[in-house]
Chain A
Amino acid sequence: MSEFILEMRNISKSFAGVQALKDVSIRCRPGLVYGLVGENGAGKSTLMKILAGAYSADAGEITYKGERRDQASTAEIIASGISIIYQELALVGQMSVAENIFLGREPRHALGILNLPELHARSAVLLKRLGIELDLDLPVSELTIAQQQLVEIAKALSQHADLIVMDEPSAILAGSELDQLFEIIQNLVEQGVTIIYISHRLEEVFRIADEVTVLKDGELVATRPIGELDRATLVEYMVGRPLDEVFPQTEHEQGELVLAAKDLATDTILDGVSLELYAGEILGIAGMVGSGRTELARALFGADPLTGGSIELVDKGASAWGSPAQAIGAGLVLAPEDRKAHGLFTTLSVRINVSIPILSTLTRLGVLKRRAEDQVVREAQERLSIVMSSPDQETQFLSGGNQQKVVLAKWLSTDPAVIILDEPTRGVDVGAKFEIYRLMRQLNDRGIAIVMISSELPEIIGMSDRIMVMNDGRVAGELTRDEAGEARIIELATLGAAEAGQS
């Protein structure tokens, strides 16, 4: 048997004339972690779907465990020990942890009756192997996303996976959850499992991968041991050109007070949050998932009702809005965390998406002024460099970065005083990420105040003028850019204000 568990050689694939993969080769030794990086559309997913049997390659060959693999069904591929964990987890919410792990392969008695004790025993063994504790009887819908992901990994192990592909596993995780995932990966690798780890976040690749393969525009750019790479080189490989500065900076004086919120409380989690926001600055909000960051954004926007406290937009004299419509009218907008679920109309065109919040200014007696709308859309496209083939293209066919730009364009069309960006670069490729950073600085220059919520600490530290750290629905602390370091932020986010102060 060869030293490689998997070899994919000279794989090519095109869809209706578009070359998605061109002569790409990768090979994996058992028990190592392989990072697979590249922008959206670089071909990572296509390559993995070919591995999973969802697509067949036009050319090239796959050798797995020393045997040449011809076209195989998904079931055969899973049986051969390859598991793929997609971003959209494939679990049945109402069923228990144990039932999900063995879904479709439940241990049975002779008559086909479910063997519950056996199911439990085998599930428990798997979770122990992963080194995690979960209530096996709990419906999966009761678990956090991070825990659900662990169930997926357990499911992969139950299928005797020797090779596990994780497609952007960290996109849905934050801080400590990620550490746990990495521990588990380490654990698996020690047991001889091979991991292919797809990610946008370079920090993670540096933390976890032994070797990194970079794809760009369907072609292999480089495969290097991680030790031979640094961040700048990797970014250069992905983007195809050097990036002098990751986070663009501008020097500016503190502006006027724009927004003042006092003692905000909601029946979700917020418990006495106060903040002030000044013109032309970026206030970064850090904290774990579930610390109340998103709830704060929604409360400021009027999307969730306040049970206490006050919000005031100072120069507009507006206060106490009870709905997003009123907040938008007052000059405060929110680009939500879950772009597809809450921000974008995926079945509708770029045009409709961009003009939706300003329809009243684009209509006379309810009838659209087409020319005025065209103008708004064209300006938005130019300002944000949205890559689209026509304003009538449905947004579902745009890349993640361009979708985010459409959401931003929509809100910029309202000419806001305050923009709240909840995870503005999640699921966005590196190139578009930097464009979004530059755009944020441009907005600052025009006096717009930005609240940026992010789980990515380098982004928070690199972009924010001030950083507010949240913990359990409260403000755990506020740091200036100079005071902020990853360690200090994590300390505040995990321990809260009081305990962090004592330590």
Chain B
Amino acid sequence: MSLAKPYESPVPDRRWKTRKFVADYGVYIALVILLLVGAVLTPKLYSVDTIAVVMRQASQLGIVAIGQTMVLLVAGLDLSVGGIFIMTSVVVAEVGNGRNEMVIPAIATAMALGGLVGLGNGLLVTKRRVPPFVATLGMLVLVKGATQAYTRGVPGGFVPDVLGIVNRSWSFLSVPLILWFGLSAIFIFILRGTSYGRKVYAVGSNIEAARLSGIPVDAIRISVYILGSLFAVVSGVVLTGYVLYVDRFIGSGLDLDSIAAAVVGGTAFVGGRGGLLGTIAGVLIIQILSTMVVLLGLDVEVQFIIKGLVILGAVTLYSVANVES
């Protein structure tokens, strides 16, 4: 016995196709438009030096944004990355203390501590059901406080010179850029082509359905928070290598920018939708906008206003495309 043909009229395709188009390509269209506007308003944007600067800054933001995107995909949020940048800087300087042979142990220590922060975030969110905003905000304050208490406000130690390797570049190509694109490629594959990636999306899309589908939802969420922190450590190492000294304010602004980049790139705040391809474009948009403001000789405050408008515009666009019947 076979089932009869369905009686329903065919589903109108247009709506989901429009949505999918906006979701998949909208941010890239926006990026192209921005580049065209840049060609007219700020032709300097296309000088080799400017591109190199934009790409280096984009890489610093882009690496932490990979983790942030994954956290957002499971309907989470990680505000603690700002604390991890500072902690990484301090740990690299203290443990490394100017000795090049200690750079690997120093990074390993930062990774381990970062992993613990991520584990803490994950446990608070899953086992204690603390809302991600509150849990990671608390963790941010805790990590910053602990770092300050440890350094007594005056960070000591020296960043090993060898970390300057992250400044190495070959015209447009630089170590941070390779790291950013490499890690992005790996995690794009993981999210799209592995069972882990599918589970990440499933947990973010509908946590109860995921649980009832046999997915270990808590383990997935904890692992994503740990990844988020580890990416923040990598970003922190790149930032530290760039300035080559301990900086109490290192990476300030990158925390919220990483969220903005993911959201502009189409990753939904409520989880289960979006991805890293969009985030890459989101990162570029935010970085190019900031650079254009500087090239135009406008005040830095204007940067924030424009950034704010872009985020609001993107979110509005996605929400319009997302209206359910």
**Complex Cα distance A334/B12, Å?**
30
Q: Once the chains bind, are B214 and A16 in contact (CB under 8 Å)?
A: no
* Nearest CB of chain B from residue A435's CB, rounded to whole Å: 5
Q: How large is the interface on B (under 10, 10 to 19, 20 to 34, 35 or more residues)?
A: 35 or more
Task: Verify if A393 is at the interface (C-beta below 8 Å from B).
Answer: yes
Stretch from B43-51, B156-164, B168-176, B196-204 contacting the other chain: B196-204
Taking CB atoms and an 8 Å cut-off, the chain A residues in 319-355 that contact chain B are 323-329, 334, 336, 341-348, 352, 355
Measured between C-beta atoms, what is the minimum distance from B248 to chain A in Å?
A: 40
Contacts A363-B194, A368-B198 given: A385-B14 contact, CB under 8 Å? no
A445–B198 CA distance with the chains assembled, in angstroms = 33
B65 CB to nearest chain A CB (Å): 21
* CB-CB nearest in chain B for A392: B20
Q: Is B205 an interface residue (CB 8 A)?
A: yes
With both beta carbons as reference points, the residue of chain B lying nearest to A439 in the complex is identified as B3
Does the CB pair A396–B12 fall under 8 Å? no
For the complex, what is the distance from the CA of A389 to the CA of B3, rounded to whole Å? 19
Tell me the total A-B contact number using a CB cutoff of 8 A. Answer: 147
Smallest distance from the beta carbon of A409 to chain B beta carbons, Å? Answer: 12
Q: With an 8 A cutoff between CB atoms, is B299 at the interface?
A: no
Within 8 A of A (CB), among B145-196: 193-196
In angstroms, how far is the closest chain B Cβ from the Cβ of A250? 9
List, in ascending order, chain B residues with CB within 8 A of A303's CB.
211-212
CB contact under 8 A between A336 and B3, given known A18-B12, A359-B195, A401-B8: no
Q: Which residues of B contact A432 (CB under 8 A)?
A: 6-8
Q: A341-B209, A368-B194, A438-B3 are in contact. List 5 more A-B contacts (CB 8 A).
A: A240-B7, A325-B214, A325-B215, A393-B16, A435-B6
Q: Is the CB of A357 within 8 A of B214?
A: yes
A445 CB contacts on chain B under 8 angstroms: 1
Could you say which of B9, B15, B214, B273 has the most chain A C-beta atoms within 10 Å of its C-beta?
Answer: B214
| Contact A346 to B206, CB < 8 A, known contacts A368-B193, A368-B194, A432-B8 | yes
State whether A431 touches B8 (Cβ < 8 A).
yes
Q: List 14 A-B contacts (CB under 8 A).
A: A40-B8, A41-B9, A327-B214, A345-B202, A356-B199, A356-B215, A357-B213, A362-B195, A366-B196, A367-B195, A389-B11, A397-B15, A432-B7, A445-B1
Question: For window 69-92 of chain B, which residues contact chain A by CB distance below 8 Å?
Answer: none
Knowing A39-B8, A432-B6 are in contact, say whether A367-B205 is a contact too (CB < 8 A): no
- Whether B16 pairs with A345 at a CB distance below 8 angstroms is no
Contact (Cβ within 8 A) B214 A328 = yes
Question: Closest Cβ of chain B: how far from A383's Cβ, in Å?
Answer: 7
Mask of A4-41 contacts with B, CB within 8 angstroms, 1/0: 00000000000111100000000000000000000111
Interface residue range, chain A: 35 or more
| Residues A392-442 near B (CB distance < 8 A) | 392-394, 396-399, 401-402, 410, 429, 431-432, 434-435, 438-439, 441-442
Given A39-B7, A389-B10, A442-B1, answer yes or no on A366-B195 (Cβ-Cβ < 8 Å): yes
Closest to A348 in B: B205
Q: Which residue of A lies closest to B18 (CB)?
A: A16
Q: Which residue from A348, A366, A368 sits with its C-beta under 8 Å from B272?
A: A348
Give the chain B neighbours of A352 by CB distance below 8 A: 198, 201-202
Return A13 CB to nearest CB of chain B, in Å: 13
CB distance from A408 to the nearest CB of B (A): 12
Interface residues of A (CB under 8 A from B): 15-18, 39-41, 217, 239-241, 301, 303, 323-329, 334, 336, 341-348, 352, 355-357, 359-360, 362-363, 366-368, 370, 383-385, 387-389, 392-394, 396-399, 401-402, 410, 429, 431-432, 434-435, 438-439, 441-442, 445
B9 & A217 in contact (Cβ 8 Å cutoff): yes
Contact indicator B11/A367 (Cβ below 8 Å): no
The answer to whether A438 touches B1 (Cβ under 8 A) is yes
Q: In the bound complex, how far is the Cα of B8 from the Cα of A384, in angstroms?
A: 14
User: What's the nearest-Cβ distance from chain B to residue A198, in Å?
Assistant: 15
Closest beta carbon of chain A to B295's beta carbon, Å: 39
Partner of A385, one of B6, B198, B206, B273: B6
Nearest first, the 10 closest Cβ-Cβ pairs linking A and B are A431-B7, A325-B214, A345-B205, A359-B195, A397-B16, A347-B272, A18-B12, A328-B214, A347-B273, A389-B13
Are B6 and A387 touching (Cβ within 8 A)? yes
A324-B212, A385-B3 known; A347-B268 Cβ under 8 A:
yes
Interface residue? B301 (CB, 8 A): no
State the Cβ distance, A355 to closest chain B Cβ, in Å: 8
Residue on A nearest B206 in the bound complex, by CB: A345
Nearest Cβ in chain A — how far from B209, in angstroms? Answer: 5
Q: Give Cα distance in the complex from A366 to B3, angstroms.
A: 35
Q: Which of A341, A347, A429 has the most CB of B within 10 A?
A: A347
Cα–Cα, bound, A431→B12 (Å): 18
- Does B320 reach chain A (CB closer than 8 Å)? no
Chain B residue nearest to A373 (CB atoms) is: B198
Rounded to whole angstroms, the CA-CA distance of A442 and B2 in the bound complex is 9
**What residues of B have a CB within 8 angstroms of the CB of A342 in the complex?**
206, 208-209, 212
> Do residues A343 and B3 form an inter-chain contact, with CB atoms below 8 A?
no
Q: Once bound together, how far apart are the Cα atoms of A402 and B209, in whole Å?
A: 17
Cα separation A434 to B8 with both chains bound (whole Å)? 13
Given the complex of chains A and B, what is the CA–CA distance between A442 and B19 in angstroms?
37
Whether the Cβ atoms of A356 and B198 lie closer than 8 Å is yes
Give the chain A neighbours of B211 by CB distance below 8 A: 303, 324
Residues on A with beta carbons closer than 8 Å to the beta carbon of B16:
389, 393-394, 397
Contacts of B128 in A (CB 8 A): none
Closest Cβ of chain A to B284, distance in Å, is 25
Task: Verify if B4 is at the interface (C-beta below 8 Å from A).
Answer: yes
Check B12 against A15 for contact (C-beta < 8 Å).
yes
CB B162 to nearest CB in A, in angstroms, measures 34
Is B5 interfacial (CB 8 A cutoff)?
yes
